[in-house]
Copies of this chain bind each other. A is one copy, B any other.
Amino acid sequence: MSKESKAKEPTEVTNTELVLPSHTNHYGNIFGGTLVSFMDITGGLAAMLFCNEEVVTASIEALDFKTPIKQGDVIEQKGRVLYTGKTSMVVSVEVYRVEKFTGNKDFCCEGYFIYVAIDKEGNPKPVPAVKILTESDKQNWEIGRGIKDRALERKKHEP
């Protein structure tokens, strides 16, 4: 069976959370590490459900916190597989703050995570290619490849 035939449509995972006191820092905003934990779960699930394997987080790419998210806010996260290498998947996680009284959504931040599929011994396992159906899929694939390239570039400069 050719690789082509195994290409899969990109998976999207949506998660909505209510920001509780146990998620906040002492300003009453969501604590940065808590938000990254939420995003890592959402991104990891998108990867896991795409490749139907166990996965581990290999890297977190640059992540900018733009709008403060407050206790009692509703946040919506969208995780999406953009690009895959042989055993790795580049996943974007977008975070929106849902304005409770209008339902409007404000973009808060976006992060890119790289996950690797693993077998029971923890060794990397091949993953399907992303099936490109729309122009937007193609743009996502390009973004994902750029991110993967930057991660490989970093690896070269490692001591």
Contacts and interface: CB of A to CB of B under 8 A. Distances in A.
A21 B18 contact: no
Given A32-B60, A37-B36, A37-B37, A16 B18 contact: no
Given A74-B49, A122-B27, A21 B19 contact: no
How many identical chains are in the complex? 6
A64 to B, nearest CB: 5
Contact of A14 (B14, B48, B62): B14
A10 interface: no
A20 interface: yes
A154 interface: yes
Interface of A: 13-22, 24-27, 29, 31-34, 36-42, 44-45, 48-49, 52-54, 56-65, 68, 71-72, 74, 98, 100-103, 111, 122, 150-151, 154-155
10 contacts: A13-B16, A22-B22, A26-B71, A26-B72, A31-B37, A32-B40, A48-B74, A52-B100, A59-B62, A68-B122
